[in-house]
Amino acid sequence: TGRTAVLLESVSFTLSSFCCEPFSCCDVMEFYCPPCETAMCKECTSGEHVEHPTVPLKDVVEQHKASLQAQLDAVKSRLPEIDLALQVLSEILQQLTNQKSSIEEDIHSTFDELQKTLNVRKSVLLMELEVNYGLKQKVLQAQLDTLLEGQESINSSCSFTEQALSHGSETEVLLVRKQMGERLSELASQEYPLHPQENDQLDMHIETEGLKKSIHNLGTIVTTNAVAYETVASGEGLRQCVVGHPTSITITTKDKDGELCKTGNASLTAEIFTPDGSVADGEILDNKNGTYEYLYTVPKEGNFVLSLRLYDQHIKGSPFKVKGTKSADISPSADSAKKRLKSPGSGHVKQKAIKRPASMYSSGKRKENPIEDDLIFRVGTKGRNKGEFTNLQGVAANSLGKILIADSNNQCVQIFSNDGQFKSRFGVRGRSPGQLQRPTGVAVHPSGDIIIADYDNKWVSIFSSDGKFKTKIGSGKLMGPKGVSVDRNGHIIVVDNKACCVFIFQPNGKIVTKFGSRGNGDKQFAGPHFAAVNHNNEIIITDFHNHSVKVFSAEGEFVLKFGSNGEGNGQFNAPTGVAVDSNGNIIVADWGNSRIQVFDGSGSFLSYINTSADPLYGPQGLALTSDGHVVVADSGNHCFKVYRYLQ
Ligand SMILES: *[C@@H]1O[C@H](CO)[C@@H](O)[C@H](O)[C@H]1NC(C)=O
Ligand SMILES: *[C@@H]1O[C@H](CO)[C@@H](O)[C@H](O)[C@H]1NC(C)=O
Ligand SMILES: *[C@@H]1O[C@H](CO)[C@@H](O)[C@H](O)[C@H]1NC(C)=O
Ligand SMILES: *[C@@H]1O[C@H](CO)[C@@H](O)[C@H](O)[C@H]1NC(C)=O
Ligand SMILES: *[C@@H]1O[C@H](CO)[C@@H](O)[C@H](O)[C@H]1NC(C)=O
């Protein structure tokens, strides 16, 4: 074949370039001398090459062919990885371009708005100047007119009298004497407004230095050169952790040359799971110097996989294998962990429960509960298809009999009917407006719009009820929005988990107010997760790391708080989802205790929802459906559950 010919040609080309030239006598080259790397005829094997081991040329060619083929295959096998890299690269390039144009738009609209504000202020000042000038000018002008009038009367009376005095006859003087005498004495005693009735002050105080300075520094382009394949993580938490205890890991971002990136704000995500799909909870703290802390807590013993991704790519060594164990020492939480095996309080809640065969739930369809607790049914398994979930977080319910689920690692929102039938889903993964990166919170606006908190995109997206993107709000303001809710004025309440504060927005994105900061004080949060609004328009926030629930007025004034760390009635081990029923009772998902508690409006413990038969595993979002059931995201089990709820 042609290929063999080429191979042979290349072989003979190689051969001819070595020391032992084939003799001209050789016409049928059948042998090969490896030391000389040359082909030759039969005669030559006993001549020039008699000392050399020779082999049939055919074998050598076969050997060369095989080795070249192997090399060919090895080279070809590199194509898929290059294809993949190209694909990733072009995605990054596309995202980068999208980001650029989106920021460009932001810059234009921000500065247009500023320009507008400036122009309005300019008009106001010009108008104020006009008004003040007008008022003063009127007073002064009136005074001027009066004085001029007086001056004119004096002039004319004087000149008339003088005329008479100098040119008039005696009879004329006598004639005007009486008349002019009276007039002159009147003028002499006339009061004139001699003191200025206004002043000339019209100044402007305008301090522009500070403003100019602010404008000079207005806005920053935030970026790093950090790349995943050079970025490293360190800490014992990469290998092991203690159940219920926060464990810390340090991540050091580096650029392509392995140099430390000295600025923060890199997009890091962490995910912890087990083969059966359980998740832990944690948060990433930006040290602002290129290093980051990841603090996480696992709710159960077992082997976990920890994925650390920078800009969607695994960092060096990720995923890590982490072993979660109960601590041996007698710390308060180890103590309570033992207690937990018994039932706290009223005697139920977190039993080890009857383990049902996994196959029972494997279809991703609605499953009835064959064992008597409050569970009506559950929907979903781990997966990426319709009705399947990967780390579902927020849930919402609308008045039209729908349940909405924020499926955070599938980058979508899935919609079900109240009875658990899959209806639709929407969401495309990405970092451009209209795309989702990590939807953790979902709420329904009275207008029907669907509001989604996107933790990793650091904004809140608003979609129409049929899943069409409308707008995004909070961009550049939010650091890590987790939960969303809507108050009675139609304002959007956003829990910024990372910034430890709560934002209230108008639907157009204007900030109404903002409250809270990091800490353990009343008006502070140690790890706020979800929000609900009661019929007094008060805002209820779960504080995961403070193990409490805090209630604020619509204006953000602290009203009350309840809960402490523990497993007794009314205690929490990291509260997450929250909802309010029509009587103002507060329903709270207790993540670490894997239970749901009910409180009255003042925070007194009322009861549990009985979840004992099919235990929850790290419940997240929680809502009340339009038919009065409680729906909860059972994150660790990658399903949502609907419970009976007696109000
Ligand atoms: C009045 O007389 C003075 C000086 O005699 C003159 O300067 C002034 O213009 C006159 N005013 C009027 C209103 O005629
Ligand atoms: C990160 O971004 C924020 C604004 O979102 C900015 O205030 C801060 O200075 C940035 N930090 C670093 C280290 O670049
Ligand atoms: C970065 O900041 C953290 C917290 O402030 C500090 O512990 C750490 O040493 C800093 N690292 C570097 C490399 O500067
Ligand atoms: C919860 O339901 C189980 C049945 O699955 C029952 O045995 C238990 O007593 C119930 N707990 C409470 C507190 O009602
Ligand atoms: C929660 O905050 C309170 C103060 O409001 C503080 O006393 C308590 O120690 C905090 N709890 C935890 C677990 O940090």
Residues 6+ positions from 445 with CB-CB distance below 8 Å: 451, 462, 486, 490, 492, 507
Q: Are residues 333 and 395 in the same domain?
A: no
CA distance 527 to 522: 13
pLDDT at position 647 is 65
Q: Which ligand is nearest to the CA of 287?
A: 3
Residues 248 and 296 in one domain: yes
Residue 30 lies in a domain: no
Instruction: Tell me if 11 is assigned to some domain.
Output: no
Residue 585 lies in a domain: yes
pLDDT for residue 533: 97
Q: Does residue 485 have its Cβ closer than 6 Å to ligand 5?
A: no
pLDDT band at 343 (very low <50, low <70, confident <90, very high): very low
Ligand nearest to the CA of 346: 4
- Virtual torsion, Cα 40, 46, 47, 52, nearest 10 deg: 80
Which of 381, 370, 282 is closest to 640 using CA atoms?
381
**DSSP element (H, E) containing 363:** none
Is 157's C-beta closer than 6 angstroms to any atom of ligand 2?
no
pLDDT of 83 strictly over 80 = yes
Is 21 domain-assigned?
Answer: no
Question: What does the alpha-carbon distance between residue 296 and residue 292 come to, in Å, rounded to a whole number?
Answer: 13
* CA separation for the pair 36, 14 (Å, rounded): 11
Residue 437 has pLDDT above 60, yes or no: yes
The last residue of a domain, from among 126, 161, 188: 188
The listed range with the strongest mean pLDDT (60-64, 142-146, 328-332, 432-436) is 142-146
Is 485:493 a contact under the CB 8 Å cutoff? yes
Report the nearest-CA residue for atom 4 of ligand 1: 155
Q: Are residues 154 and 285 in the same domain?
A: no
User: Does residue 145 lie within any of the structural domains?
Assistant: yes
Question: CB-based contacts of 439: which residues, under 8 Å, 6+ apart?
Answer: 393, 394, 406, 407, 408, 411, 412, 413, 427, 452, 453, 454, 455
CA distance 319 to 640: 27
Ligand 5 centroid, distance to 519 Cα (angstroms): 9
Given a cut of 50, whether residue 17 has pLDDT beyond it is no
Please indicate, yes or no, if residue 365 is contained in any of the structural domains: no
Mean pLDDT of 319-348: 52
Is the CB–ligand 2 distance for residue 222 below 6 Å? yes
Query: Does some domain include residue 262?
Result: yes
Q: What dihedral angle (degrees, nearest 10) is formed by the CA atoms of 629, 630, 633, 637?
A: -80
Say yes or no: 531 and 636 in one domain. yes
Ligand nearest to the CA of 458: 2
Whether residue 331 is found in the same domain as residue 470: no
**Residues whose CB falls within 8 Å of the CB of residue 595, separated by 6 or more in sequence, listed in order:** 349, 350, 608, 609, 611, 616, 619
Please report, as a single letter, which amino acid is at residue 58: K
Same domain flag for 614 and 496: yes
Whether 330 and 383 map to the same domain: the answer is: no
Which of 289, 294, 295 to mutate to test ligand 3, by most ligand atoms within 8 A of the CB atom? Answer: 289
Residue 101 has pLDDT above 90, yes or no: no
CB neighbour list of residue 235: distance below 8 Å, 6 or more residues apart? 247, 248, 249, 250
Ligand 3: which of 248, 250, 287, 293 to mutate, most ligand atoms within 8 Å of CB?
A: 287
DSSP result, 228-284: EEEEEEESGGGTEEETTS-EEEEEEEE-TTSPBP------EEEEEE-TT--B-EEEE
Residue 11 has pLDDT above 70, yes or no: no
Q: What's the one-letter identity of residue 529?
A: H
**What CATH number is associated with residue 319?**
2.60.40.10
Distance 610 CA to ligand 4 centre (A): 6
pLDDT value of residue 551 = 97
Asked whether the beta carbons of 15 and 37 are under 8 A apart, the reply is yes
- Residue 519 within a domain: yes
Atom of ligand 2 nearest to the CA of 264: 13
Give CA separation, 552 vs 469, 477, 514, in Å: 31, 21, 12
With a 6 A CB cut-off, is 520 part of the ligand 5 pocket? yes
417 and 317: one domain?
Answer: no
- Is the CB–ligand 4 distance for residue 281 below 6 Å? no
Token pair in block for residue 296:
């996480």
In short, whether 151's Cβ falls inside 6 Å of ligand 1 is: yes
Q: Give, using CA atoms, the residue closest to atom 11 of ligand 1.
A: 152
Does the pLDDT at position 410 exceed 50? yes
Give the CB-side neighbour count of residue 58, counting CA atoms within 13 A: 2
Report the alpha-carbon distance of residue 625 to residue 484 in Å, rounded.
17
Distance in angstroms (rounded) separating the CA atoms of residues 268 and 284: 8
- Pocket flag, ligand 5, residue 519 (CB < 6 Å): no
Q: How confident is the model at residue 550 (pLDDT cuts 50, 70, 90)?
A: very high
- Residue 38, pLDDT score: 81
Residues 169 and 248 in one domain: no
How many other CB atoms are there within 10 angstroms of residue 500's CB atom?
21
Cα 235 from Cα 213, distance rounded (Å) = 42
Is 136 in the same domain as 276? no
Q: Are 519 and 526 in contact (CB under 8 A)?
A: yes
Are 506 and 638 in a shared domain?
yes
pLDDT interval class at 358 (50, 70, 90): very low
Output the domain CATH number for residue 470.
2.120.10.30
Whether residue 355 has pLDDT greater than 60: no
Looking at the 3D structure of the chain, how many domains does it have?
3
| Separation between Cα atoms, residue 242 and residue 334, nearest integer Å | 9
Sequence-ordered list of residues with C-beta below 8 angstroms from that of 462, at least 6 positions apart, any chain:
445, 449, 450, 451, 452, 469, 470, 471, 472, 473, 507
Last residue of a domain, one of 188, 216, 247: 188
- pLDDT tens string 453-484: 999 999 999 999 999 999 999 998 999 999 99
| Residue whose C-alpha is closest to residue 532's, from 601, 628, 466, 458 | 601
Ligand 2 atom with least separation from CA of 265: 1
Q: What is the pLDDT of residues 282-304, one digit of tens each?
A: 788 899 999 999 988 887 888 89
CA 253 to centroid of ligand 2, rounded, Å: 15
Ligand 1 in contact with 159 (CB < 6 A)?
no
* Atom in ligand 2 nearest the alpha carbon of residue 479: 5
Give me the sign of the Cα torsion angle 508, 514, 517, 523.
negative
For the segment 498-515, the average pLDDT, to the nearest whole number, is 95
Do 467 and 569 belong together in one domain? yes
CA of 222 to the centre of ligand 2 (A): 7
Residue that is last in its domain, among 160, 188, 216: 188
User: Percent of the chain, pLDDT > 70?
Assistant: 88
Cα–Cα distance measured from residue 26 to residue 23, given in angstroms and rounded to the nearest whole number: 6
End-to-end CA distance of the chain: 84
* pLDDT, averaged across the chain: 86
Residues in CB range of 242: below 8 A, 6 or more apart:
324, 325, 326, 327
* 191-221 tens-digit pLDDT: 999 999 999 999 999 999 999 999 999 998 9
Residue whose Cα lies nearest atom 5 of ligand 3: it is 287
Say if residues 417 and 424 touch (Cβ distance below 8 Å): no
Any ligand 2 atom below 6 A from CB of 351: no
Look up the domain containing 171 and give its range: 79-188
pLDDT tens profile 28-72:
788 888 888 888 888 777 777 788 888 888 888 888 899 999 999
What's the DSSP call for residue 429? B
**C-alpha of residue 223 to centroid of ligand 2, in Å:** 9
- Whose C-alpha lies nearest to ligand 4, atom 2? 373
CA-closest residue to ligand 4 atom 11: 348
Query: Between the CA atoms of 210, 212, 218 and 220, what dihedral angle is there, to the nearest 10 degrees?
Result: -100
